[in-house]
Amino acid sequence: MKILFLAQRVPFPPNRGDKITTWRLVERLARKHEVTIIAFAHDEADMQGAAALKAKGFETVTVPLDVRQKKIGALPKLLAQTPMTLAVFGSKQMQREVEQHMQQMDAAYAYSSSMGAFLLQQDKPWVMHFAELDSDKWLQYADRHRWPLSAIYKREWRLLEKFETRVADATTQNVFCTPLEEQIFQDRIPGRNSMVLRNGVDLEHFKPRPSEAQPEHMVFTGVMDYYPNIDGCKHFVREVLPRVRSEFPQARFTIVGSRPTKEVLRLGKADGIEVTGFVDSTADWMARATIGVAPLRVARGIQNKVLEAMAMGLPVVGTTSATQGVGAVHGRHYLVADRAEEQGHAIRGLLRDQAARERVGQAARKFVEQHHDWESVFAPLDDLF
């Protein structure tokens, strides 16, 4: 079968959350089908990624996208009934490329709802993979901000939910990363086809290396120009870390991830806090940690940062938002804590108790081996196509 794969960002190399998943999807589909990729190229790194995909034998078409410029140009849409998301990711060039290539395709696979917009008029079967239910994400944003941002975010939630309903009616199958998001979808847009494809983790690359762990060292990984990651790290540094250092004054915190904003870089100026920026291997940095933290206050879907830390055998302390997509058990596979005092208490307890750290870390590794191996989580793709 000839399949057209659409992505918001070139799906290679797999060095951030969305690219990890899209690359795994493309690689899995290509085992039995002929896959052509059309994706937005955000920068030179994406162009290099596209070249690497072509070298691997994938026909890859890129459409340039300057997100910052598009956001500025999208501001007049605030007076219209168009979601800002679609204004930013709308592209006549992308639409032309999709329509031309679909003439030779048997089916299509869109990753993220903004890419599904380019397939709404197609009469061939296509799959809508909601990377996360975007409308619900904007509703969470609205709850965490004051007016006027809260009003703008609520507007985006309302308009995107209408758009997602159109997509759900047009596609052959709706795909979600977690049962929770599927349930939210079914509650708000009932009666449409849906299924779950969980995210996986590279169990060979992310594996325990306990001999490299450094005492009282906590680590967070994620792209650091993304609001939920920025918000979570700022909250952790200001509200949680002082509670940990009240008992463990030498405790250190490392923020690992590309494109840190100025406010994130400022966090790294404090004693015991390091901001790395881009690194070649997040696994190398997690190996140096005693505890993985995921203090996200806004999140949906499966957090790769949590899966990867668990695969490394780290005990993870995360919020409900960060861990709910994983489906593991609090107290056995990780510790769930939402309030700052609860997070501080959980981390201090783990730092005091090496046996507890080892017990939770070993259970975490076993859990991802059983439930988040890429080979098993994407097996339903074979039946789907």
Kindly tell me if the per-residue pLDDT of 91 is higher than 80: yes
Q: What is the pLDDT of residue 95?
A: 97
Residue 40: band (very low, low, confident or very high) from pLDDT cuts 50, 70, 90: very high
Asked whether residue 38 falls in the same domain as residue 165, the answer is yes
Q: What is the pLDDT of residue 342?
A: 98
Asked whether residue 216 falls in the same domain as residue 340, the answer is yes
Q: What confidence tens digit (pLDDT) does each residue in 306-338 have?
A: 999 999 999 999 999 999 889 899 999 999 999
Residue 59: band (very low, low, confident or very high) from pLDDT cuts 50, 70, 90: very high
Q: How do beta strands 335-336 and 273-275 pair?
A: unpaired
Residue 138: band (very low, low, confident or very high) from pLDDT cuts 50, 70, 90: confident
Asked whether residue 234 falls in the same domain as residue 118, the answer is no
In this structure, are residues 294 and 305 in contact, taking their beta carbons and an 8 Å threshold? yes
Asked whether residue 135 falls in the same domain as residue 231, the answer is no
Please say which residue of 145, 163, 197 terminates a domain.
197
Residue 234 placed within a domain: yes
Residue 18 placed within a domain: yes
Residue 302: band (very low, low, confident or very high) from pLDDT cuts 50, 70, 90: confident
Kindly tell me if the per-residue pLDDT of 123 is higher than 80: yes
Q: What is the pLDDT of residue 53?
A: 98
Residue 25 placed within a domain: yes
Residue 136: band (very low, low, confident or very high) from pLDDT cuts 50, 70, 90: confident
Instruction: Give the residue ranges of DSSP H helices in 236-378.
Output: 241-245, 262-267, 282-287, 304-311, 320-323, 340-352, 354-371, 374-377
Kindly tell me if the per-residue pLDDT of 77 is higher than 80: no
Residue 145: band (very low, low, confident or very high) from pLDDT cuts 50, 70, 90: confident
Mean pLDDT (the chain, rounded): 93
Asked whether residue 128 falls in the same domain as residue 230, the answer is no
Q: What confidence tens digit (pLDDT) does each residue in 212-269 have?
A: 999 999 999 999 998 999 999 999 999 999 999 999 999 999 999 999 999 999 999 9
Q: What average pLDDT does range 89-100 have in this prediction?
A: 96
Asked whether residue 97 falls in the same domain as residue 176, the answer is yes
Asked whether residue 25 falls in the same domain as residue 46, the answer is yes
Residue 167 placed within a domain: yes
Residue 309 placed within a domain: yes
In this structure, are residues 26 and 107 in contact, taking their beta carbons and an 8 Å threshold? no
Q: What is the pLDDT of residue 94?
A: 98
State which residues form the domain around 264: 210-371
Q: What is the pLDDT of residue 148?
A: 86
Q: What confidence tens digit (pLDDT) does each residue in 1-21 have?
A: 999 999 999 999 998 889 999
Q: What is the pLDDT of residue 348?
A: 98
Residue 118 has what DSSP assignment? Answer: G
Q: What average pLDDT does range 114-122 have in this prediction?
A: 95
Kindly tell me if the per-residue pLDDT of 51 is higher than 90: yes
E strands present in the chain: 2-7, 34-41, 59-64, 107-111, 126-130, 173-176, 194-196, 217-221, 252-256, 273-275, 291-294, 316-318, 335-336
Angle at 190 between CA 188 and CA 191, to 5 degrees: 165
Please say which residue of 148, 172, 197 terminates a domain.
197
Residue 380 placed within a domain: no
Q: What is the pLDDT of residue 131?
A: 79
Residue 272: band (very low, low, confident or very high) from pLDDT cuts 50, 70, 90: very high
Lowest mean pLDDT among 72-86, 138-152, 157-171: 72-86
Q: What is the pLDDT of residue 120?
A: 95
Q: Tell me which of 202 and 152 has the higher pLDDT.
A: 202
Asked whether residue 234 falls in the same domain as residue 352, the answer is yes
Residue 203 placed within a domain: no
Asked whether residue 184 falls in the same domain as residue 112, the answer is yes
Tokens of 144: 């965490």
The CATH number for 276's domain is 3.40.50.2000
Residue 83: band (very low, low, confident or very high) from pLDDT cuts 50, 70, 90: confident
Instruction: Identify the helix (H) or strand (E) that includes residue 227.
Output: helix 227-235
Asked whether residue 220 falls in the same domain as residue 137, the answer is no
Residue 379: band (very low, low, confident or very high) from pLDDT cuts 50, 70, 90: very high
Asked whether residue 215 falls in the same domain as residue 338, the answer is yes
- Could you give the number of structural domains in the chain? 2
**Whole-angstrom distance, CA of residue 177 vs CA of residue 369:** 17
Residue 377 placed within a domain: no
Residue 168: band (very low, low, confident or very high) from pLDDT cuts 50, 70, 90: very high
Kindly tell me if the per-residue pLDDT of 78 is higher than 80: no
Asked whether residue 261 falls in the same domain as residue 180, the answer is no
Q: What is the pLDDT of residue 139?
A: 82
Q: For residue 336, count CB atoms less than 10 angstroms from its CB and return exposed for 0-12, middle for 13-18, buried for 19 or more.
A: buried
Kindly tell me if the per-residue pLDDT of 104 is higher than 90: yes
Please say which residue of 137, 165, 197 terminates a domain.
197
By percentage, how much of the chain surpasses pLDDT 70?
Answer: 99
Kindly tell me if the per-residue pLDDT of 75 is higher than 80: no
